[in-house]
Amino acid sequence: MSLLSGSLTLRSAPKVTPEEFTALREFIYGLTGIDIPAQRQYLIENRLGPRLGELHIPSFGEYLKYLKFSREKDAELKQLFELITTNETSLFRDTKQLEVVRDKLLAPLLESLEKSGKKELRIWSAGCSSGEEPYTLAIMLHELLRVKLMSWRIDIMAHDLSPAMIAKAQAGVYGEYSFKTTPPDILDRYFTKRPEGFEIKANVKRLVRFATLNLNDQAAVKALPRSHIVFCRNVIIYFDTEMKKKVLSGFYDNLVPGGHLVLGHAETIHGVSRVFTPVHHPGGIVYKREG
Ligand SMILES: C[S@@+](CC[C@H](N)C(=O)[O-])C[C@H]1O[C@@H](n2cnc3c(N)ncnc32)[C@H](O)[C@@H]1O
């Protein structure tokens, strides 16, 4: 039964015409800054095609009208964001880079803040997907501060474009895939086994505040409180140069003087922005906002 309906959906899935592709691409780019290159046209068909089937919409042109003008457009935009974003993530992703973060950024920062008598730390995880990255940072802070954590005000702001990802992050329950690079003792100490997966413990969860936010929305970005460290790993690869520049300038303004930006280990801002000072460590580069 389901096979039959699956094949019917497949047979009736429309092809995107070049004009429709250009119009959808521009619409998505205008809203989110996500740039779908021409050679990835199949992404539109593969990801949005089934949605057209569900809605009984016969063409991508009609779908675009639905996104722009229908009464359901706001709800449909949320669906669109979910379908077009790539949300791959995991806890303790890129261990080598996280060692740099722990030893070269977090440990000295905590020490200098403590010395100055201001035990307040803010970190921003921009493009946090389902929450594994900010929870990793919260666990690292627990590991570094131990009982002293009680005397700190720690605020990890975590944002994503996709409301579905933010809902998953807020639930804080993960399957085994999310733990592929997590040390077993961390899993034991910071998660509780539930029938649906492993749930993050409340003492970690309370350090993280999740919300939807579009990095293309400059007013929303400007309104955020300032951070000591901005994490934006594996997000700007989906943006073109213009959007990268916009987002990097938002991060620069958000950081306190002397603060750091951490990108994905394979990402670079070389040739895009010169406002940050790259600081090279054996496990990866971090970018400093000078004072
Ligand atoms: C591949 S995930 C990276 C998750 C995490 N930072 C990591 O490295 O594991 C990229 C995330 O960026 C988010 N994203 C893409 N464009 C965005 C935008 N304009 N504003 C906010 N988030 C965005 C996507 O929804 C997705 O969850």
* Same domain, yes or no: 45 and 176: no
What's the pLDDT band for 12 if we cut at 50, 70, 90? Answer: low
List helix spans (H) across 198-263: 202-205, 218-222, 241-254
Of 50, 84, 118, which residue sits at a domain end? 84
Q: Take atom 27 of ligand 1 and give the residue whose Cα is closest.
A: 129
Average of per-residue pLDDT across 254-277: 95
84 Cβ contact partners less than 8 Å away, ≥ 6 residues apart: 28, 32, 34, 36, 43, 47, 48
The half-sphere exposure of 185 on its side-chain side, counting CA atoms within 13 A, is: 2
pLDDT number for residue 278 = 96
Tell me if 168 is assigned to some domain: yes
Q: Take atom 9 of ligand 1 and give the residue whose Cα is closest.
A: 89
pLDDT number for residue 291 = 79
Ligand 1: distance of its center to the CA of 160 in Å?
6
- 50: exposed, middle or buried (Cβ count in 10 Å: 0-12, 13-18, 19+): middle
CA dihedral 227, 230, 235, 241 (to 10 degrees): 90
Q: Take atom 26 of ligand 1 and give the residue whose Cα is closest.
A: 87
Tell me if 89 is assigned to some domain: no
Does the reported pTM lie above 0.85? yes
* Same domain, yes or no: 149 and 269: yes
CATH, residue 269:
3.40.50.150
* Same domain, yes or no: 59 and 103: no
Q: Which of 129, 162, 174, 247 to mutate to test the pocket of ligand 1 (most atoms within 8 A of CB)?
A: 129
Percent of the chain scoring above 70 in pLDDT: 96
- In sequence order, the β-bridge partners of residue 41 are none
Looking at every residue in the chain, the average pLDDT score rounds to 95
Nearest to 92 by CA among 212, 202, 17, 191: 191
Tell me if 11 is assigned to some domain: yes
Ligand 1: distance of its center to the CA of 67 in Å?
22
- Among the residue ranges 3-12, 127-136, 249-258, the one predicted with the least confidence is 3-12
Does 181 sit in the ligand 1 pocket, CB within 6 Å?
Answer: no
pLDDT number for residue 13 = 72
Phi/psi for 213 (5° steps) reads: -160, 135
* Same domain, yes or no: 75 and 106: no
Tell me if 90 is assigned to some domain: no
Q: How far apart are CA 51 and CA 76, in angstroms?
A: 10
Does 233 sit in the ligand 1 pocket, CB within 6 Å?
Answer: yes
Q: Record the tokens describing residue 159, joined without a space.
A: 């944002």
CATH, residue 18:
1.10.155
* Same domain, yes or no: 247 and 280: yes
pLDDT number for residue 115 = 97
Total structural domains within the chain = 2
* Same domain, yes or no: 106 and 73: no
Tell me if 37 is assigned to some domain: yes
Of 58, 84, 110, which residue sits at a domain end? 84
* Same domain, yes or no: 104 and 69: no
* Same domain, yes or no: 101 and 237: yes
Residue 9: pLDDT above 60?
no
Question: pLDDT tens, 188-244?
Answer: 999 999 999 999 999 999 999 999 999 999 999 999 999 999 999 999 999 999 999
* Same domain, yes or no: 102 and 204: yes
* Same domain, yes or no: 144 and 224: yes
* Same domain, yes or no: 99 and 228: yes
Residue 7: pLDDT above 60?
no
Tell me if 123 is assigned to some domain: yes
Residue 5: pLDDT above 60?
no
AA identity, residue 28: I
CB atoms within 10 A of CB 269: 19
Question: pLDDT tens, 18-57?
Answer: 999 999 999 999 999 999 999 999 999 999 999 999 999 9
Does 97 sit in the ligand 1 pocket, CB within 6 Å?
Answer: no
* Same domain, yes or no: 71 and 103: no
Structural domain for 136, as ranges: 95-288
Of 56, 84, 112, which residue sits at a domain end? 84
Nearest to 50 by CA among 4, 23, 10, 80: 10
Does 89 sit in the ligand 1 pocket, CB within 6 Å?
Answer: yes
Q: Take atom 11 of ligand 1 and give the residue whose Cα is closest.
A: 127
